[in-house]
Amino acid sequence: MEAPPLAADARADLVIIGGGFTGNAAALEAARRGASVVLLEAETVGHGGSGRNVGLVNAGLWLPPQDVIKLMGREPGLRLVDILAQAPALVWSLVDREEIECEATRNGTLHLAHAPSGFRDLAERHRQGVELGAPLQLLDAEETKRRTGSSAFHGSLFDPRAGTIQPLSYARGLAAAAIRAGAKLHGASKVTGVTHDGEGWQVTANGHVVKAKSLLLATNAYFNGIDLGTRPQFVKVGYSQFATAPMPEHLRKNILAGGEGCWDTAMVMSSFRIDRAGRMIVGGIGNEGGAGGPVHASWARRKLRQVYPQLADLPFEHAWHGHIAMTGDHVPKILRLGPSGLACFGYSGRGIGPGTVFGTRAAIALLEDRETELPVAPVEQHVERFVEPKALYYETGAVLTHAINPPPFS
């Protein structure tokens, strides 16, 4: 896949800023519908949160369905819940149709109860989901132990619709499919200006201008301060991951043998999945690239020892971090930027499914002037208060939690 820097002025039906799940899915959908598309990415395709994602293809949001309905109102809330319930199916269909090699594993996910209170929360999520027709299964501690290979959890909620992917490969696979469909993708093309002249959008990058009828801003947590008149507002939260060396075969066959991806119910969340090579990938809230990096790295080693003692001495070979765009109510937003201009953001840690859905539907809405296609109604302005203090709160909380939990010698 080639995405050369923008080297000349261009015209398009749709210009997209950001080469992650949302932007690439939009470029693919628009190009397949016959539109001319130019996508501009400041770094490389998948460089941001998409390529650094946990890799869990989940249905829905972090919030239980009834919370979504309460926040949004019954009709729009139910609609969003229903649309995102089908998000994994959309991801799998694109993987199949475009033959994307991304280690797609469609064996479901396990939401793990870290404590008895966590299991009670899962039981309520199960009740709400089943009422809405979701094929969820509430598993007791013994069945959870059998599936995970760990006795650290008090039960789990299994969602067979979900699964895991290698996120960077998926992001790049969408981009490659968009290029095959006719879209023009440009990396190393940081946008420095965006204006609307009354007839269309003019987007400047590398000293060149792309003119387009429609604009989609798809930078999510990696918005770099482009002057748009209005701007997406969110709290930037760090998430770090640590990958071990491949597990020996005799251990691999008893640890997440079914291939499920996992995350837990703790306030400072942890995640677990195994890649195709047999590496255990341990993730947690916090920025391993920041001042608290050594604390997060030490926590990952202790967490692995606590959950999987048999892996206690398996070395970590890779570590990386990304950023999540968190909204105050944990519901994604679509911001109206001007005539035929939208920004999608705020997936609050659920980037793969929602990003794919929002990008695909935003392309249709912009090209065909059908806002009813959007998963949520666009707003003229979204305000997040105390953004920087909240970001500091999340990181400080993660550092403090990781410093003491699990205890160093547990």
- Report the percent of the chain where pLDDT is more than 90: 95
SS (H, E, C) the chain: CCCCCCCCCEEEEEEEECCCHHHHHHHHHHHHCCCCEEEECCCCCCCCCCCCCCCEECCCCCCCHHHHHHHHCHHHHHHHHHHHHCHHHHHHHHHHHCCCCCCCECCCEEEECCCHHHHHHHHHHHHHHHHCCCCCEEECHHHHHHHHCCCCCCCEEEECCCEECCHHHHHHHHHHHHHHCCCEEECCCCEEEEEECCCCEEEEECCEEEEEEEEEECCHHHCCCCCCCCCCCCEEEEEEEEEECCCCHHHHCCCCCCCCEEEECCCCCEEEEECCCCCEEEEEECCCCCCCHHHHHHHHHHHHHHHCHHHCCCCEEEEEEEEEEECCCCCCEEEEEECCEEEEECCCCCCHHHHHHHHHHHHHHHHHCCHHHCCCCCECCCCCCCHHHHHHHHHHHHHHHHHHCCCCCC
Which pLDDT tens digit goes with each residue over 174-218? 999 999 999 999 999 999 999 999 999 999 999 999 999 999 999
Which pLDDT tens digit goes with each residue over 156-165? 999 999 999 9
Class of the 1-105+167-233+329-379 domain?
alpha beta
pLDDT band per the 50, 70, 90 thresholds, residue 47: very high
- Report the percent of the chain where pLDDT is more than 70: 100
Which pLDDT tens digit goes with each residue over 330-367? 999 999 999 999 999 999 999 999 999 999 999 999 99
Average pLDDT over residues 84-93: 98
Look at residue 229 in the predicted model and tell me its pLDDT.
Answer: 86
Look at residue 407 in the predicted model and tell me its pLDDT.
Answer: 79
Average pLDDT over residues 318-329: 96
Whether 410 has a pLDDT exceeding 60, the answer reads no
Look at residue 408 in the predicted model and tell me its pLDDT.
Answer: 75
Question: So where are the chain's domains?
Answer: 1-105+167-233+329-379
